[in-house]
Amino acid sequence: MIKPIGSDTLQPLFVYDTGEHQALRREAESLPSVVISSQAAGNAVMMGGGYFSPLKGFMTVGDALGCAEHMKMSDGSFFPVPILCLLEDVEEIRGKQRVALRDPNVDGNPVLAVIDVNAIEEVSDAEMKRMTEKVYGTTDEEHPGVAAFLSQGRYALSGPIKVLNFSYFQTDFPDTFRTAVEIRNEIVEHGWRTIVSFQTRNPMHRAHEELCKMAMDAVKADGVVVHMLLGKLKPGDIPAPVRDAAIRKMAELYFPPNSVMVTGYGFDMLYAGPREAVLHAYFRQNMGSTHFIIGRDHAGVGDYYGAFDAQTIFDEEVPEGALDIQIFKADHTAYSKKLNKVVMMRDAPDHSKEDFVLLSGTKVREMLGNGIAPPPEFSRPEVAEILMAYYKTLT
């Protein structure tokens, strides 16, 4: 199996030893504590599950700036985006060596992790602006990722962490949420050697399904891991439970037996386009995938990124040798009326736009909201049925 990044073994920060876990949980209740942001909580969950291995905790401002500027921390190790714990108020924890980090997304704000404090640094407006520009490619606060990043405080709490739970993800999505450790174990159980990963924050339509199959055929993969984001999205996106049901139905009916794993991870969407694509590849290697599909406008939003910027960044900006995972570069995929099958549009140069079944997201949402199933060339009828039932609840 492919090695994790920077090590022969995965290094999850969740405390698996029962005795240590119970002792740390008891200690945490007596420690000074702070409720962290949703973005920081997602970072902790990802570190706990081994996805961000070999990262040991939250970055200093210097390391965060290094990652923003050239994807490297001060010690030269590779990481594609800053992993920060930004706070608005640090008066209660100043001078403390050990602090409990409380979950903003669970009632009662239980302790999510414990941090050994290396530093509490004030982040200047110029530093925030520089990180925003480099990671998101814009400082426009209409961009949902920019808005979420800048809505956090200006004090960076850094240091190694030990994670005590996986927030609401494990309880709300028990059949879907998986750590990188668990996915690696399941891959071994399946006996897969060549594994494709597919990222999604949306339900999978026919084109997505066929894209996974195309990638599997092209690299002779044993299986595909459909890996959906389970954290916070922008308003209007379809909730995770609905996506989960739709994707599971598609996998059950339209993939060969034992060829697909439907899983999810606990993280808030950044909508950072190219930089988020690199982060996605980073943690897909850590969870054991050998190949990762990146299509048009991967992890994008609006018109902030070029259609293929999330592919070219791997050739132009990712440090050489930083990643072992292979990128499967995909074009827009759609049903060809001429060929009676789904194809990548670049593979059909003799086609005009009218030769494809193309529907905008707005049009699809409008159809589903009116109880009209998109054509079967666009969406499997069983998937459309689940989505129509969801939209019916909104009226």
Which residues are annotated as catalytic? Answer: 201-202
Phi then psi dihedrals of residue 357, to 5 deg: -90, 100
CB under 8 Å to 350, separation ≥6 — which residues? 338
Q: Percentages helix, strand, coil for the chain, rounded to the nearest 5?
A: 35, 20, 45
365/361 Cα distance (integer angstroms): 6
Closest CA to 322 of 285, 270, 363: 285
Give me the sheet containing 291-294, strands edge to edge.
Answer: 260-265, 223-229, 195-200, 291-294, 326-329
Q: Which residue has the tokens 């925003």?
A: 132
68/62 Cα distance (integer angstroms): 10
Q: Which residue has the tokens 């992790």?
A: 113
Burial 47-69 (b: 16+ CB within 10 A, else e): bbbbbbbbbebbbbbebbbbbbe
146/133 Cα distance (integer angstroms): 9
Residue type present at position 95: G
Tell me how many degrees the CA angle 231-234-240 measures, rounded to the nearest 5: 40
145/140 Cα distance (integer angstroms): 10
Cβ atoms 201, 216 nearer than 8 A: no
List, in sequence order, the alpha helices (H) in the chain: 18-28, 38-48, 61-70, 125-136, 144-150, 169-172, 180-190, 206-219, 240-254, 274-286, 309-316, 361-369, 381-394
